[in-house]
């Protein structure tokens, strides 16, 4: 269960493409950062999900020459790469779990035996696709021929375009290329509506409208223009409290003058022009949102999991990220993923440049059992402790993280300028500069997590001692 935000180039402050997503499942789902190097596969070699203990028995040919790419996968399978870039600058975030209508699924069910799922998408597309549109078409062809094993939405970015794809039923799909001046927000529901097969910025399955018409989910004579979400996706009371509030909150943040009823989700605009240009910090803020300070905030006034609206930032978030494409910079530093481990409200977004040649070994460690080495558990331990006294500890942690991110942003600007000045003259030294800078940021972030953990432990120790001190009459031992 996830939340997504995409912003096209003229809607952002610096002309970059932005895709942010918060991935939610279990707090015991440690995430790794993996660099997959280029590889030559033998003729006929197959990617098989079952070889990695994945969700289905999906199979697909490996590309003969697989490109280098990165993923942030699940510890147990090394699949479900939540986000990644490949060597030619294609970035993907996925997936946003969405749900088709039950009556439509009864006629065209998900292929739960051999269909493609979020486990597979990045590992199938990033080694072979060279553009966002090619990746959309490749995934679409897989959905039409093999089938989707579940409902999902996926974001695609390159130096020219930003696309978003949603599934309908098991073999139907739609995709939009975002207009340059808009953003798109989604929270576990089908949000795309318009589809015109003659438009260059619309793609979809070959029988998308025909199938809906033939089975009574769309009537051209009475329904007006075709509406994909209405024809194919679920819309009931579950959306009103679990999904709509998150979309409402993101649109409220970026368009504060827009008044909408929170339970009117089906009528929320699919795309909006932001009132102010969107920044990376805006995306981070969106991923950290939990209706802060309102009556719907489940943390700030004592923990309660029965809040009426489901927030974006939940404890069981296992990673969140902001993917940025800056075509005006060398791809090695222009393409960057800001990644945080665990609950985004209490974690630090750390930059991972696409040009990294390696990452620390312990970024590939961590399981469903806490340890002292993996970066995931270093942050998760802090978050777990803070949640035992959120009111006292969260402000301390959040202030320190904000300071760290602001200082890191300043350092990035200096580093990037140095890199640009150096890369054409001496690419080897530029690569060394990139790796050295990145490893320094990685270490500083982990040092911050350790420092905050000790600080919070000290405060909790003091607080517990005060409650159960059992002093004698002289207030001595």
Active-site positions read: 2
The neighbour count for residue 325, using CB atoms within 10 Å, is 26
In sequence order, what are the beta bridge partners of 319? 23, 341
Give every CB contact of residue 44 below 8 A, 6+ residues apart in sequence: 61
Q: CA–CA separation, 477 vs 474, rounded Å?
A: 8
- Per the listing, tokens 């040009």 go with 355
Give the strands of the sheet with 183-186, arranged side by side: 271-272, 183-186, 2-7, 17-24, 317-325, 335-341, 350-353
């Amino acid at each position: 269960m996830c939340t997504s935000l995409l912003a096209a180039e003229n809607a952002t402050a610096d002309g970059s493409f932005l895709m942010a997503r918060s991935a939610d499942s279990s707090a015991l789902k440690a995430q790794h950062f993996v660099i997959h190097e280029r590889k030559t596969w033998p003729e006929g070699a197959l990617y098989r999900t079952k070889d990695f203990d994945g969700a289905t028995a999906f199979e697909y040919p490996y590309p003969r020459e697989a490109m280098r790419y990165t993923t942030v996968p699940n510890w147990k399978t090394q699949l479900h790469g939540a986000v990644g870039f490949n060597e030619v600058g294609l970035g993907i975030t996925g997936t946003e779990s969405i749900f088709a209508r039950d009556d439509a699924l009864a006629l065209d069910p998900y292929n739960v035996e051999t269909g493609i799922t979020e486990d597979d998408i990045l590992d199938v597309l990033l080694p072979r696709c060279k553009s966002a549109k090619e990746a959309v078409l490749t995934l679409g062809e897989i959905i039409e021929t093999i089938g989707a094993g579940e409902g999902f939405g996926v974001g695609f970015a390159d130096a020219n375009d930003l696309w978003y794809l949603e599934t309908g039923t098991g073999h139907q799909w739609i995709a939009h290329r975002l207009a340059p001046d808009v953003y798109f927000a989604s929270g576990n529901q089908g949000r795309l509506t318009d589809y015109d097969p003659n438009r260059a910025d619309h793609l979809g399955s070959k029988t998308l409208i025909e199938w809906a018409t033939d089975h009574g989910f769309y009537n051209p004579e009475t329904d007006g223009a075709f509406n994909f979400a209405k024809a194919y996706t679920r819309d009931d009371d579950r959306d009103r409290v679990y999904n709509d509030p998150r979309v409402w909150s993101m649109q409220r943040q970026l368009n504060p003058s827009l008044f909408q009823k929170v339970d009117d989700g089906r009528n929320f605009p699919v795309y909006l022009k932001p009132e102010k240009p969107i920044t990376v910090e805006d995306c981070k803020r969106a991923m950290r949102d939990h209706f802060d300070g309102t009556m719907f905030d489940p943390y700030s006034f004592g923990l309660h999991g029965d809040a009426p609206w489901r927030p974006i930032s939940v404890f069981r978030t296992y990673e969140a990220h902001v993917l940025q494409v800056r075509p005006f910079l060398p791809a090695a530093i222009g393409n960057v993923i800001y990644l945080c481990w665990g609950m985004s409200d209490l974690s630090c977004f750390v930059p991972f440049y696409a040009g990294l040649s390696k990452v620390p070994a312990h970024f590939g460690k961590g399981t469903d059992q806490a340890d002292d080495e993996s970066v995931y558990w270093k942050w998760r331990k802090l978050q777990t402790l803070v949640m035992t006294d959120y009111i006292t500890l969260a402000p301390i942690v959040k202030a320190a993280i904000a300071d760290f991110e602001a200082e890191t942003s300043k350092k990035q600007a200096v580093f990037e300028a140095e890199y640009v000045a150096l890369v054409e003259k001496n690419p080897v030294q530029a690569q060394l500069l990139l790796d050295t800078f990145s490893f320094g940021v990685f270490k500083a972030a982990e040092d911050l997590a350790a420092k905050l953990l000790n600080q919070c432990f000290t405060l909790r120790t003091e607080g517990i001692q005060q409650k159960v001190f059992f002093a004698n009459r002289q207030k001595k031992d």
